[in-house]
Amino acid sequence: MSEKTVLQPVAVVRNEDGYFCHPAVREFWDVDMAGRETCTREEWEAFEERNGIETHLDRLEFYPIDHPAYVAYFDNEDGNVTAWEPTRPSGDGWFLLDISDSEDGPFAVFARHRSNA
């Protein structure tokens, strides 16, 4: 069994298109943000367990259709999501792990230590 790591919040510095990837997530996927492959649900659950975290997913597609980032991305086919500030879940201790793109559009992943749940 692998040793647990301690995943900590880091300063969020989004790239010029508004995307971000926590170094631990980047290492987990082991490829750059543009070419990242997806992982299986089982692999993600093992990542959560190893890091003692729970995660929450936020998707741009669930925002109002007149939100500037929604309009830019879905209507104007502009991949820049700098106008989108993903919604942090309620409760204590949440920090950003990732803002990326997928077949369904941009998404953000927040995490917190299970001890904060």
Per-residue pLDDT of the chain (117 residues; tens, 9 = 90+): 345 567 889 999 999 999 999 988 877 765 444 455 567 788 888 889 988 999 999 999 999 999 999 999 999 999 999 999 999 999 999 999 999 998 889 999 999 998 866
Render 14-41 in DSSP notation, one character per residue: --TTS-EE-HHHHHHHTS-TTTPPP--H
Instruction: Report how far residue 104's alpha carbon sits from residue 8's, in angstroms, rounded to the nearest whole number.
Output: 28
- Taking a C-beta distance cutoff of 8 angstroms, is the pair 43, 51 a contact? no
Instruction: Please report the pLDDT score of residue 1 as a whole number.
Output: 38
- CB neighbours of 67 closer than 8 A, spacing ≥ 6? 60, 83, 84
Sheet containing strand 107-113, edge to edge, reads 20-21, 95-100, 107-113, 53-59
Name the pTM for this structure. 0.85
Instruction: Please report the pLDDT score of residue 31 as a whole number.
Output: 46
